[in-house]
């Protein structure tokens, strides 16, 4: 390995920052993403991403369902530069397209930005995604959005994050006014006030006047009551809150908090600057040979998402790979850890929004899209040099369940094949009744769209029309101590026992309350909301 290549890899890792946004629908993820791209120079006028999306929709020959519903099913990565950093924003599918892929994307992210609507505070989807981030221990940066609208007291929101998520908070900036009187933000480190001016629809960078807290001009520029309010808020913050502790931030125990308005661009650039300063660069990953550093000179990465049928004409499949080490090069041949086969990666792609373009090289923290020759499954490792196998991506607790039926016995084989392939691909989890007489697979998903995709694909790719009977469960827990432990406790109430595709016991509950009750009654059962991929 040449020292030149080693230096190149080290420099590339040093520059990279990778993150995903976790939020509830409508908090402003699309708007913030667009504004980050605007500040990153990747677009010159906000609105372009949305415009391109709708243009794409009109001409797209993607999955018909995507067109019909006007949504994007694909998770993509947006890449842009800012302040000499290369930023990879992993787009987490949300809204109606919330699915297990949303969780899996977080397995490829080094940092998370938790986006909160100032009027709504923490919302269900944000909490769920937070749990996945917490499990991985990744740093969480909070952006409280929509300060240009009336909302809750900022201090209340900090309190909510601390109480409900168990995260310490540190407000890096502080809002000056709110709603119609939202004037700007105060940067606590530099002790500077940023006063913004709105631009039409926030389509260009906001005009930003920066003045020191002690500057006399404040009295001219800021109404007196807002100034006094700010001063008293700052005294309160300095008095009660802990200092910013980057070790705690990096361990996922403290969240730096920013306030702003993505729509009007207030506070967006300040957020981006600070985020880049505090965010983790690509780090090491645990594997069969121990922890592997991103500067390890051989290439390696893992598949975190598979996308089928982006273009039905070509029946192409794309495996999204998170690069963990070394340098990826076009046309390179890698080893596939699970099967031991050599695979030539002939058509690498990086993704910008929904457009695919070819790439020549990639480094740790980047995401590449590979045309999947049918060998890849979620969690697979590819590598060069000594064998590396990363820990797989776990199964996440499904919340929607349905019996999948094939009413046409002559299609039995296609049905079996389709279900099995879609499961392997990670489109949905499959469970089975413990009653041998009931052979219909149980589809288990985290988002409704997963059911629709499975039925759509069974029909289109395997020629099988199916029906779904929704089951009345909403909570699943794996019994970590296995069938033996279950047998010992005997009959259980208000739960149904099923087995997952690896034959492991899973308990299904109608609601969280029943689940909690069982945990209370049977502490000897070890229940888990997440199951490792390998048994």
Binding residues for GTP, as ranges, are: 23-30, 91-95, 145-148
CB-nearer residue toward ligand GDP: 28 or 398: 28
User: Does residue 113 belong to the site contacting ligand GDP (CB under 6 A)?
Assistant: no
User: Does residue 273 belong to the site contacting ligand GDP (CB under 6 A)?
Assistant: no
C-alpha angle 484/489/494, rounded to 5°?
Answer: 115
Q: Residues forming the annotated binding site?
A: 23-30, 91-95, 145-148
3-state helix, strand, coil in the chain (%, to 5): 30, 30, 40
- 327 has which bridge partners? 363
| Region binding ligand GDP by CB under 6 A among candidate stretches 40-48, 256-264, 374-382, 499-507 | 256-264
We find the least distance from the C-beta atom of residue 18 to ligand GDP, in angstroms, to be 20
We find the least distance from the C-beta atom of residue 159 to ligand GDP, in angstroms, to be 22
User: Could you give the CA distance from residue 317 to residue 309 in angstroms, rounded to a whole number?
Assistant: 6
User: Could you give the CA distance from residue 317 to residue 534 in angstroms, rounded to a whole number?
Assistant: 24
User: Could you give the CA distance from residue 185 to residue 311 in angstroms, rounded to a whole number?
Assistant: 45
CB-nearer residue toward ligand GDP: 110 or 148: 148
Applying CB under 6 A, which of residues 91, 100, 148, 425 lies at the interface with ligand GDP? 148
We find the least distance from the C-beta atom of residue 265 to ligand GDP, in angstroms, to be 9
Find all residues with CB under 8 Å of 442, minimum gap 6, and list them: 401, 402, 403, 404, 430, 431, 432, 433, 471, 498
User: Does residue 167 belong to the site contacting ligand GDP (CB under 6 A)?
Assistant: no
User: Does residue 149 belong to the site contacting ligand GDP (CB under 6 A)?
Assistant: yes
CB-nearer residue toward ligand GDP: 97 or 366: 97
Find all residues with CB under 8 Å of 407, minimum gap 6, and list them: 465, 466, 467
Other CB atoms within a 10 A radius of the CB of residue 125 amount to 18
CB-nearer residue toward ligand GDP: 179 or 407: 179
User: Does residue 146 belong to the site contacting ligand GDP (CB under 6 A)?
Assistant: yes
CB-nearer residue toward ligand GDP: 25 or 385: 25
User: Does residue 75 belong to the site contacting ligand GDP (CB under 6 A)?
Assistant: no
Please, which of residues 116-145 interact with ligand GDP by CB under 6 A?
A: 145
- Count of chain residues binding ligand GDP (CB under 6 A): 15
Q: How far is the CA of 314 from the CAs of 10, 61, 306, 372, 405, in angstroms?
A: 38, 11, 16, 12, 29
User: Does residue 261 belong to the site contacting ligand GDP (CB under 6 A)?
Assistant: yes
User: Could you give the CA distance from residue 498 to residue 512 in angstroms, rounded to a whole number?
Assistant: 17
Report which of 149, 174, 152, 146 is spatially closest to residue 274, judged by C-alpha positions: 174
Report which of 139, 85, 107 is spatially closest to residue 247, judged by C-alpha positions: 139
CB-nearer residue toward ligand GDP: 249 or 262: 262
Lay out the site mask for ligand GDP across 17-36 (x = CB under 6 A, - = otherwise): ------x-xxxxxxx-----
User: Does residue 263 belong to the site contacting ligand GDP (CB under 6 A)?
Assistant: yes
CB-nearer residue toward ligand GDP: 122 or 321: 122
Structure-derived torsion over alpha carbons of residues 306, 308, 314, 320, reported in degrees to the nearest 10: -20
We find the least distance from the C-beta atom of residue 33 to ligand GDP, in angstroms, to be 8
We find the least distance from the C-beta atom of residue 123 to ligand GDP, in angstroms, to be 10
User: Could you give the CA distance from residue 127 to residue 140 in angstroms, rounded to a whole number?
Assistant: 12
CB-nearer residue toward ligand GDP: 29 or 457: 29
Binding site for ligand GDP (CB under 6 A): 23, 25-31, 145-146, 148-149, 261-263
């Amino acid at each position: 390995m040449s020292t030149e290549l080693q230096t190149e890899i080290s420099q590339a890792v040093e520059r990279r920052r990778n993150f995903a946004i976790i939020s509830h629908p409508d908090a402003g993820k699309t708007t913030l993403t667009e504004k980050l791209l605007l500040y990153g120079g990747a677009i010159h006028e906000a609105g372009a991403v949305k415009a391109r999306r709708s243009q794409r929709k009109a001409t797209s020959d993607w999955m018909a369902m995507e067109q019909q519903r006007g949504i994007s099913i694909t998770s993509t990565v947006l890449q842009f530069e800012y302040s000499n950093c290369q930023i990879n924003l992993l787009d987490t599918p949300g809204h109606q397209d919330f699915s297990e892929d949303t969780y899996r994307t977080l397995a490829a992210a080094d940092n998370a930005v938790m986006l909160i609507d100032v009027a709504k505070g923490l919302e269900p989807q944000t909490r769920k995604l937070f749990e996945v981030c917490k499990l991985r221990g990744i740093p969480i940066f909070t952006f409280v959005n929509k300060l240009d609208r009336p909302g809750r007291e900022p201090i209340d929101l900090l309190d909510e994050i601390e109480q409900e998520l168990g995260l310490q908070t540190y407000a890096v900036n502080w809002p000056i006014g709110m709603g119609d009187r939202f004037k700007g933000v105060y940067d606590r480190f530099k002790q500077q006030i940023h006063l913004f001016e709105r631009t039409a629809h926030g389509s260009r960078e906001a005009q930003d006047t920066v003045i020191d807290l002690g500057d006399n001009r404040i009295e001219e520029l800021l109404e007196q009551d807002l100034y006094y309010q700010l001063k008293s808020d700052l005294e309160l913050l300095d008095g009660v809150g802990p200092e910013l502790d980057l070790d705690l931030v990096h361990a996922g125990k403290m969240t730096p908090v920013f306030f702003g308005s993505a729509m009007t661009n207030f506070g967006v650039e300040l957020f981006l600057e600070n985020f880049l300063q505090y965010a983790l660069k690509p780090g090491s990953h645990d594997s069969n040979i121990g922890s592997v550093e991103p500067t390890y000179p051989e290439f390696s990465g893992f598949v975190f998402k598979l996308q089928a049928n982006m273009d039905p004409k070509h029946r192409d499949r794309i495996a999204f790979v998170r690069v963990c080490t070394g340098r990826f090069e076009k046309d390179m041949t890698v080893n596939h850890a699970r099967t031991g086969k050599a695979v030539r990666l002939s058509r690498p792609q990086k993704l910008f929004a929904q457009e695919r373009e070819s790439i020549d090289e990639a480094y740790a923290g980047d995401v590449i899209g590979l045309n999947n020759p049918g060998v890849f499954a979620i969690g697979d490792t590819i590598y060069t040099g000594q064998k590396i196998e990363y820990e797989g991506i776990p199964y996440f607790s499904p919340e929607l369940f349905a019996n999948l039926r094939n009413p046409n016995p002559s299609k039995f084989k296609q049905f079996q094949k389709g279900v099995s392939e879609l499961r392997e691909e990670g489109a949905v989890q499959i469970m089975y009744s413990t009653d041998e007489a009931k052979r219909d697979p149980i589809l288990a998903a985290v988002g409704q769209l997963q059911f629709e995709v499975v039925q759509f694909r069974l029909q289109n790719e395997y020629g099988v029309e199916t029906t779904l009977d929704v089951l009345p469960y909403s909570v699943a827990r794996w019994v970590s101590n296995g069938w033996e432990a279950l047998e010992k406790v005997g009959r259980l109430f208000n739960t149904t026992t099923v087995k997952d595709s690896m034959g492991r016991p899973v308990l299904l509950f109608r609601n969280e309350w029943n689940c909690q009750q069982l945990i209370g009654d049977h502490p000897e059962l070890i229940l888990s909301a997440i199951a490792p991929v390998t048994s």
